[in-house]
């Protein structure tokens, strides 16, 4: 199989992922990622707005959001589709570098792309696909090093990629630390050069920490552990139980051939040829590290399993290269592939919600123009504000996720960290009222909690805001009564500084 054929196949995959990105249901999880990328164009993460992840993605993608303008939300989904296709390409390249033939390597890449874990992560505006792509690129170089083909510059590049993945999503620190520990044992991985490569992304993280150490510690370290536990303990505590997490992991892996691949790898005989020992140790280590990274947060969601998939499918390519699957295994693989792609096929058949969101954004903008909105927009659904071109209130950069929490911070720290909880929203609006409050994007149609939007309606009404339904959309714009003396300069598009 020629390289051009593989490249054309992966280009086709990128187009298919872009199609699914337009069809994927809108998800409230996207709120903070779109908001952070919009705000990072003119503000510093943690110091000027909250971001409940490590900081690289919004900083890196802010120029894309600036170029896309009112199409920033779909542009970020399409960027993830491109990251997904590139991840599959690196898995193909890693499989080839490990010794798999072109057909087996391409099969491994396409099996990866048929998992629901991958398809979800590559077609939604979250921070899952970029670090997976960085990990897959590092894996390709690590495979070469395991075979004695890498040099110092390759080791630096690996360190840079793994550090950048961690600077994008903290769970990737587990695979990065696993590689670092392996490098200390096996000197072919050149630990000093690995560390040197890791420095630039680490410095970026350190800079954002230094600018707002308390906010960084809360956003990145405390909130991701304390908030989910508080939220689910209030009504769905069973989601935090070990048996529920085990069922979730099994379910997510079974939506696609990942579970089958894991079974094949676990059952593989440990009779590797000496030349393959270092390589299989590397792949097995990264699979285990990826699974540990997935299991640490509670509850467990499908995208958390993504770090384990690139090394898993490279390992599968090698096993099936040495011992091709029999008829029963091929049939089982087809069944699991169908299970993996079925949710995405159903989504495509049901329409294109992202196109509807773009049109709703135009209607929202016309409504804001009609009501002469001036200033920042507060909302639990900031991903929809992007389409209007108007400024987002940075206190709502975290979408609904901090708002729904209770007592995680003293009110003084909420204000200091640019956050607003439900309990403090009334006081926050009284002290610094937004120009308008957008309500309607946090509900079942975005996998959200409609009770939160109902709470926002009560808060907005209590603060004297007037409801203005936006015709043809699920949204209502609550507009603040404005003094006739309010200066026109208050009305500033989102690409201007606050």
Give pLDDT, residue 266: 92
Cα(399)–Cα(392) distance, integer angstroms: 11
List Cβ<8 Å contacts ≥24 apart for 213-219.
214/413, 214/416, 214/417, 215/46, 215/47, 215/50, 215/416, 215/417, 215/418, 216/46, 218/408, 218/409, 218/413, 218/417, 219/46, 219/50, 219/51, 219/52, 219/53, 219/417
Give pLDDT, residue 264: 95
Query: Residue 478: helix, strand or coil by DSSP?
Result: strand
Residues in the chain: 498
Give pLDDT, residue 400: 96
Count other Cβ atoms within 10 Å, centred on residue 330.
11
Are 430 and 465 in contact, with CB atoms under 8 Å apart? no
Cα(119)–Cα(389) distance, integer angstroms: 29
**Interstrand relation of 436-439 and 377-379 (parallel, antiparallel or unpaired):** parallel
Here the tokens at position 290 are: 């990826």
Distances (CA, A) of 104 to 84, 313, 314, 318: 19, 10, 10, 8
Cα(358)–Cα(70) distance, integer angstroms: 8
Which residues, in sequence order, are CB contacts of 371 under 8 Å at separation 6+? Answer: 436, 468, 477, 479
Query: Residue 439: helix, strand or coil by DSSP?
Result: strand
Cα(38)–Cα(32) distance, integer angstroms: 10
Low-confidence ranges of the chain (pLDDT < 50): 274-275, 485-493, 495-498
Short-list 449, 466, 460, CA closest to 231: 449
Beta bridge partner(s), residue 479:
436, 466
Cα(37)–Cα(19) distance, integer angstroms: 22
Short-list 141, 162, 157, CA closest to 93: 141
Cα(137)–Cα(87) distance, integer angstroms: 7
pTM: 0.94
Phi and psi angles of residue 436, each rounded to the nearest 5 degrees, phi first: -155, 160
Which residues, in sequence order, are CB contacts of 59 under 8 Å at separation 6+? Answer: 40, 45, 204
């Amino acid at each position: 199989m020629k390289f051009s054929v593989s490249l054309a196949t992966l280009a086709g995959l990128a187009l298919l992922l872009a199609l699914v990105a337009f069809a994927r249901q809108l998800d409230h999880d996207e709120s903070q990622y779109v908001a952070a990328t919009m705000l990072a164009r003119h503000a510093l993460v943690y110091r000027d707005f909250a971001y409940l992840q490590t900081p690289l993605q919004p900083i890196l993608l802010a120029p894309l959001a600036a170029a896309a303008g009112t199409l920033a939300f779909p542009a970020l989904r399409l960027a993830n589709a491109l990251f997904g296709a590139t991840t599959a390409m690196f898995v193909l390249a890693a499989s080839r570098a490990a010794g798999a033939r072109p057909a087996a390597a391409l099969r491994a890449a396409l099996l990866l792309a048929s998992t629901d874990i991958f398809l979800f992560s590559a077609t939604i505006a979250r921070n899952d696909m970029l670090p997976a792509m960085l990990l897959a690129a590092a894996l390709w170089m690590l495979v070469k090093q395991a075979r004695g083909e890498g040099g110092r510059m390759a080791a630096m590049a690996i360190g840079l990629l793994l550090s950048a993945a961690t600077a994008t999503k903290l769970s990737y620190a587990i695979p990065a630390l696993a590689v670092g520990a392996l490098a200390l044992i096996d000197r072919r991985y050149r630990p000093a050069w690995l560390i040197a490569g890791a420095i630039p992304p680490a410095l970026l993280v350190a800079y954002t920490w230094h600018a707002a150490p308390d906010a960084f510690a809360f956003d990145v370290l405390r909130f991701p552990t304390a908030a989910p536990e508080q939220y689910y303990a209030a009504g769905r505590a069973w989601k935090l139980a070990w048996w529920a997490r085990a069922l979730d992991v099994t379910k997510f892996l079974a939506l696609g051939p990942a579970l089958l691949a894991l079974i094949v790898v676990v059952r593989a005989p440990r009779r590797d040829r000496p030349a393959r020992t270092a390589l299989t140790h590397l792949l097995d280590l990264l699979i285990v590290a990826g699974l540990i990274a997935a299991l640490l947060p509670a509850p467990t969601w499908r995208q958390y399993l993504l770090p384990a998939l690139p090394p898993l499918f490279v390992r599968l390519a090698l096993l099936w290269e040495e011992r091709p699957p029999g008829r029963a295994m091929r049939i089982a693989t087809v069944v699991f592939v169908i299970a993996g792609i079925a949710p995405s096929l159903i989504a495509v058949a049901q329409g294109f919600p992202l196109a509807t969101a773009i049109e709703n954004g135009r209607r929202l903008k016309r409504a804001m123009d009609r009501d002469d909105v001036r200033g920042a927009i507060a909302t639990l659904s900031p991903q929809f504000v992007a389409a209007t071109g108007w400024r987002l209130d940075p206190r709502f950069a975290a979408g609904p996720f901090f708002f729904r929490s209770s007592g995680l911070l003293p009110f003084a720290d909420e204000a200091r960290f640019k956050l607003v909880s439900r309990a403090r929203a009334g006081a926050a609006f009284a002290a610094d009222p937004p120009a308008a409050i957008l309500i309607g994007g946090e509900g079942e149609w975005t996998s959200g909690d409609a009770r939160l939007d109902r709470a926002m309606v009560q808060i907005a009404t209590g603060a004297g805001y007037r409801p203005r339904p936006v015709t043809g959309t699920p949204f209502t714009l609550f507009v603040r009564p404005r003094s006739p003396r309010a200066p026109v300069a208050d009305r500033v598009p989102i690409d201007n500084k606050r």
